[in-house]
Amino acid sequence: MVHEIIICLIIGYVFGCFQTGYFYGRLHGIDIHKYGSGNVGTTNTMRVLGKKAGYITYAGDALKAIFAILLVRYVIYPQSPDNLLLTMYTGFGVVLGHNYPFYLKFKGGKGIAVTSGVMAAFDVRFIIPGLLGFFIPFFITRYVSVGSLVLMALFPICVLIFHPGQWHLFIVSLVFCAMAFWRHRSNIKRLINGTENRFDRKKKKVKE
């Protein structure tokens, strides 16, 4: 079992290292690390390069998690009795690759778009709670970070509801949640201090 988990983490990490926002920026002559928050995820890419870039970044980051999970679930370990758990570890590997890509000096994103893809591919029943969990807090507060953190808090809750008694799955989902809160620690401080940037605040778009 340990051997299979390691393989799934590696597969996930390789997929996760595809940084959609970074490559999109490079195609347009921009190093996204040097603008805005320096983050290569959806929010910073959208603020720096515009909505189109943000949507493309989100789609690419979510899809890489979906593809990795489907590969493990239906191609590599389709007959494994631990198939569901292995897909969860694969998704965690994708988040690790996204957050800590080796070729960008381990400076990547925060893993929210990736985790939304993990949740969708892991269990389609997570999609509706996930959408509501992100968009309702976001539209109320206009803070992407608030929606993101609520979404992440819902992940282990969804596991408890839809997969009761699967404590290994639950523990891994808690690790997803803990990593997201750790990656958002500066956002949390700004939220407490009232200095967090609202999404509707106008940002100067970089010319492509």
Domain ranges of the chain: 2-193
The confidence score (pLDDT) of residue 69 equals 98
Q: Which residue has the tokens 């109320």?
A: 140
Torsion angle of the four alpha carbons 132, 135, 139, 140, in this order, in degrees rounded to the nearest 10: 50
- CA–CA gap between residue 181 and residue 184 (Å, rounded): 5
pLDDT higher than 60, residue 203? no
Per the model's pLDDT, the better-predicted residue between 186 and 199 turns out to be: 186
84-112 pLDDT, tens per residue? 999 999 999 999 999 999 999 999 999 99
- CA–CA gap between residue 66 and residue 82 (Å, rounded): 18
Residue in 16, 133, 112 with CA at minimum distance from that of residue 65:
16
The structure's pTM equals 0.92
Which ranges constitute the DSSP H helices of the chain? 2-16, 20-27, 42-49, 51-71, 83-99, 112-122, 127-141, 144-162, 167-183, 185-193
Instruction: State the average pLDDT over residues 24-45.
Output: 88
- Our measurement of the distance from residue 107's CA atom to the centroid of its chain's CA atoms, rounded to an integer in Å, reads 14
Total residue length of the chain:
208
How confident is the prediction for the chain on average, in pLDDT? 93
- CA–CA gap between residue 24 and residue 27 (Å, rounded): 5
133-181 pLDDT, tens per residue? 999 999 999 999 999 999 999 999 999 999 999 999 999 999 999 999 9
Instruction: State the average pLDDT over residues 116-134.
Output: 97
